[in-house]
Structure 1
Amino acid sequence: MTFSRSKSITRAIAVALILNVFMLGGHSFTYASASFDGSATENVVIVYGNASLEHSRDTRNAEQLMKLYDSLRIHSRIVSLIRVDDYRAGQIQGVTHVFLYGLAEENVNASLGADLRRFSGVIGWIGGGLERYSDYGLQERIAVTGYSNQFTELIFGPGETDDRNETRTLIGETLHVPKLAASDGQTVQRFGWLSDGQKRYPYVLHADKLWAISAIGENASLNDALSRILDQMFDVQRSSWPNVLLMLNNVSPFIDLERLQSTAEWLYEQGVPFIVELRPVFANMEFKQMQRYFEVIREVQQLGGTAVLGNLQGWYPPDAWNTDIERYSETNVTSPEDADVLIALSLQAYLDARIYPLAFTGPMDLLFDQEYVRTMSYFSTFVQNGVWKGYVSDQLPEQAWAGNYVSDKVLLQFDSSNDWEGLQATVERRKKDGATFDDFRNHPNKVSFDESDIASVSGEIRVDGQRVLYEKMVTEEPPEQPPAELSGVNRGIKQTMSFIFIIAGLIVGLFLLAFVAGKRIDRKKHLR
């Protein structure tokens, strides 16, 4: 299970409030997200091989699968995963793109082959196995002539046949990579080459609806080449995309709030909008430190900071080995420790303090965690933050979360409290290079929970449809309360005590008068 049900709600809250500060250096990147722009309508299915991938202790294939998933989510509102052994007829019906990965050693799925023959969208075949589906019309113009473990160099240029400006990059040895060949050079487009030092073969071939991509991998050059091919497949122009999104991570009541405030002021002076990742809070709101925290975040919003809500600190990935067992013990009972309950409490706490989170952020594993299905339904935008922790599960298109996805490839990330020098140097360098910094509020984002809605519309924040301003919260002094009326018994006691005080005062006064008079009589006797 995602949360230990034996822990009390108090402990869960305490764990969620603990600040775990870690350094996230700035990432370089060259493109942003069509999905984030809200312009993406593509629905993508990945059919992948290796039936034991989900439960495999060797995570290398899974890591490549998740990198592919991340690259495709940049372009698509929905990306779902189906193992080839589990594929059933019609599961790619209605989607725009199908990608097949890791099928070189898998048995042919006849239902998949028949659906691919009829499919009218875009097919991306990554790696080997294409020749196994030759009976379904996938090798009419593109063929696999063999496999090689000796490809060590990627040759890639700006166009499919433009070799004048091509670049050569060593990629290390690759395993079981298909040797692609075009059967009709006039109608098949080529993008790049893979070389073994003696002979080279096309890196990518494109004919009609089929794109054959020979390899993906951990090498940065292969990743960049794949991203450029995906631009072509999704018909995206990089030059039209925003340049930089700046993000401050791990903002909580326990950090140096003065440093956060001074950082926000400096970014405001530089004309740089930014994102602040807020830790969930839902207890001890009356404490002075919490009130100070809310005050600073409101000022950060005024200075161009846009809030997003981070994940619970007590979360850890589900154990994939126990997933099947737990499916039989699921109930519809809602626990106060459930993620959706805690996240909703935190959203309400921030909203009450006039702080407006516009997205949810965390590692990609959250998109596959069944206990986060309701939590993810609150948000139209997810910001990938943190490395993938090793969890993935199959999802049909109707099960996959649909929304705007922001990959960490498009973020410059910094720690909120102890990376001031790195942030300042990076911002100044980017500005010198001509970069522009994108405002998160200018993109369509919406958060809906309980009966409340927070949305960004053309740079404005709206709560339940009403435009809000980033003003400071004014705390009104409580009006003076009239004295409470006394009961009959209390009035009697008050009158009695007043009478006693009056009598006591008279007695004391008479005593003083007698004392003074006696002194005067003694003085007269003495004078005589």
Structure 2
Amino acid sequence: MKKSKCRQPLPKTLLHLLLLLCLLCSSSISSLAAAAEREAEPIHVLLLYDSLAKDSPKAGNVEALQQQLAAFGAQVTILSVDGYSGGMLEQYSKVILVRNAADMELTNAAFVQDRAAYRGDYFHIGEELPARQQQSLHIAIEQTPSEETMRLAIGPFSDEAVRVQNTPYIVMEQTAANPSVNLQAEAYGSFTPKQNSGANGSSPYAVRNEHTAYVPYFQKGNLSELAMSYVLKDWLGLAEPGLTYLLFKEIYPFSDLTLLAQMADTLYDAGIPFAISVQPVFSNSEFPAMQRYLETLKYVQSRNGTVLVNAPVVASTIGQNDQTLKTKMTSFIDVLAAYGIAPLGMGAEMYWSYDKEYAVDGMGFFNSAVLLPNKKLMYRSQTNVSQPFASSLYSISPSYLASFDREGKAWEPLPMNTALTYDFAENEAQLSADLASITESWMTFTDYKQQGHEVRTEAHVILSQGGHMTINGQAVTLNDALRQVSSDFEYADKGTVSFTTLFNVQNKIFIVIIIVSLFIFGFLFMIGYRLYRRKYFK
């Protein structure tokens, strides 16, 4: 009888290798989790400025920079240089200084001292680039004549008529081996005088190395606004290509809803995804007008449209003690969700993200937003720290892009996620013109639903990912049948009707009595008339 062979124990070396492999796997998993957590955290940027340059050509450039930083997912702390306190630079790994006032000397000694010792990533915009940063970039700075027309080019875009006045520009230091190349800094675009009257023939628009970036000219509304985003993205260390979305705003319950459905049909037939930012309604959700509004929004959603909630209109007469914004926004989101409509983000003027009350009570339901240019600042609780979003779009108007020359037919992706924003048309002729410009533009639009978005109230959780939308875990039904809403509606409650029958009987009795009384009165009148007539003839 054969003896069964005993299983030999594993060699110690093999055991050690298995143990080491397990440790490496667990370490890799924890490292990936930590990396994902770091990636989810927004980049913190300190944005300093010497002047907002109001009533000058540079007015609004700080605001435009704030919008771009938000589109790149950064959390921004904005502060004037005069309000700077010693030691603040050490708290940030990335610092931007906007120098709008060349004639204004920096008198804050704490900032000047801290900047000289700062070793983080520094981005200088405008005048007075410090000598240390100039040396690290290996550039020289020169000045244009009092007035000059420049040609600015970046990526596929160019602007032939940029008017500047006493503006600094960059001169690259050349290497001995190759005079045409500077190996120390990366150059962006070109900033070329149209008429060479004192300025050099050509210079880059901006330069950047590992820790320092410099843009000498930045003005809102011309190509330098878009050119800034190319430099800013690389300085922030971001590599993801930008996506372009199509957005329509200024949509109200009293808008032409038939025209809105027609627009959705046209874009759907053309295979163009789009989003609409709709004005919220906080009461009378049962009225036929509101029901038609909801029905149209649901139809738009079925035609590959995405619904965003626009910020409510802020009236100057609202008191500071009004604390109903959160309740109102919750009610509208819940009304949409109950009707089968999945709002995936919020559209608001940028200053909303710098207001504690608006950011929490108005925008706190959403992790995605489209930040629009400010029209009128109406803060309730202003703060200098922005509310970051997991997804934030930079709003650009079609007229802005149309003002530049562009190479090629197809559009290249812009550096940041961008919303090409139209105001919803007021008539069919305007809508036809807008749709024609969109369908003929050779621009590729991304479906907003393809990205991850999350909206939460106490009653509803709305999610989207990869084009799939859910409300409380249930897939959203895309029904393209536009239901007709009846106009028959009781706008006031009827009173108590328990005595209706009694009152009807009384009314009939009174009517009979009045008719009989009129008949008797007429009979007596005729008798009196005859008696009076006989007496008169006698």
Give your verdict on TM over 0.5.
Answer: yes
Letter in 2 for 1:84: V
Q: What is residue 381 of structure 1 aligned with on the other side?
A: 368
| 1:205 equivalenced with 2:207 (yes/no) | yes
C-alpha displacement of 1:101: 0.3
Greater Cα shift, 357-366 or 67-76: 67-76
Name the CA shift for 1:465/1:110 in 2 (closer, same or farther; >3 Å). farther
Name the CA shift for 1:426/1:283 in 2 (closer, same or farther; >3 Å). closer
Is the 1:81–1:394 Cα contact (8 Å) retained in structure 2? no
After superposition, what is the alpha-carbon deviation per residue over 1:356-411, rounded to whole angstroms, capped at 9, x for unaligned? 211111221222234313222222112134544257898555x5444422111233
For residues 348-367 of structure 1, the aligned pairs below 5 Å read: 348-367=334-353
For residues 108-123 of structure 1, the aligned pairs below 5 Å read: 108-111=108-111, 113-114=113-114, 117-120=117-120, 122-123=121-122
Distance 1:246 1:39 in 2: 26
- Residue 72 of structure 2: SS of its match in structure 1? coil
C-alpha displacement of 1:83: 1.7
Is the 1:376–1:401 Cα contact (8 Å) retained in structure 2? no
Letter in 2 for 1:210: T
Letter in 2 for 1:88: S
Distance 1:204 1:62 in 2: 20
Is the 2:345–2:370 Cα contact (8 Å) retained in structure 1? yes
C-alpha displacement of 1:182: 4.5
Name the CA shift for 1:166/1:422 in 2 (closer, same or farther; >3 Å). closer
| 1:44 equivalenced with 2:45 (yes/no) | yes
Distance 2:249 2:133 in 1: 50
Q: What is residue 345 of structure 1 aligned with on the other side?
A: 331
Unpaired runs of 5+ in structure 2? 1-38, 176-181, 397-417, 485-538
Distance 2:307 2:112 in 1: 43
C-alpha displacement of 1:235: 5.3
Please, what is the CA RMSD of the aligned residues? 3.8
Is the 1:182–1:188 Cα contact (8 Å) retained in structure 2? no
Distance 2:171 2:317 in 1: 39
- Residue 215 of structure 1: SS of its match in structure 2? coil
Unpaired runs of 5+ in structure 1? 1-37, 160-164, 319-325, 476-528
Q: What is residue 268 of structure 1 aligned with on the other side?
A: 268
Q: What is residue 495 of structure 1 aligned with on the other side?
A: none
| 1:171 equivalenced with 2:162 (yes/no) | yes
For residues 248-263 of structure 1, the aligned pairs below 5 Å read: 248-263=248-263
C-alpha displacement of 1:280: 1.0
Distance 2:231 2:139 in 1: 19
Indicate the structure whose relative CO is greater, using CA pairs within 8 Å and at least 6 residues apart. Answer: 1
- Residue 124 of structure 2: SS of its match in structure 1? strand
Letter in 2 for 1:124: F
Greater Cα shift, 227-236 or 143-152: 143-152
Distance 1:314 1:158 in 2: 38
Letter in 2 for 1:127: G
Q: What is residue 242 of structure 1 aligned with on the other side?
A: 243
Is the 1:306–1:441 Cα contact (8 Å) retained in structure 2? yes
Q: What is residue 460 of structure 1 aligned with on the other side?
A: 468
Name the CA shift for 1:216/1:422 in 2 (closer, same or farther; >3 Å). same
Letter in 2 for 1:438: T
1:372 to 342, 358, 367: 358
Name the CA shift for 1:96/1:391 in 2 (closer, same or farther; >3 Å). farther
- Residue 97 of structure 2: SS of its match in structure 1? strand
Is the 2:463–2:470 Cα contact (8 Å) retained in structure 1? yes
Distance 2:119 2:454 in 1: 34
Name the CA shift for 1:190/1:154 in 2 (closer, same or farther; >3 Å). farther
- Residue 258 of structure 1: SS of its match in structure 2? helix
Q: Percent identity?
A: 19
Name the CA shift for 1:464/1:197 in 2 (closer, same or farther; >3 Å). farther
Distance 1:444 1:166 in 2: 31
Name the CA shift for 1:349/1:92 in 2 (closer, same or farther; >3 Å). farther
Letter in 1 for 2:164: E
Letter in 1 for 2:62: L
Distance 1:76 1:85 in 2: 27
For residues 272-311 of structure 1, the aligned pairs below 5 Å read: 272-311=272-311
Distance 2:263 2:449 in 1: 19
Is the 2:355–2:382 Cα contact (8 Å) retained in structure 1? no
Distance 2:300 2:191 in 1: 49
After superposition, what is the alpha-carbon deviation per residue over 1:402-438, rounded to whole angstroms, capped at 9, x for unaligned? 4422111233334445254444444444444432222
| 1:154 equivalenced with 2:153 (yes/no) | no
TM-score by length of 2: 0.65
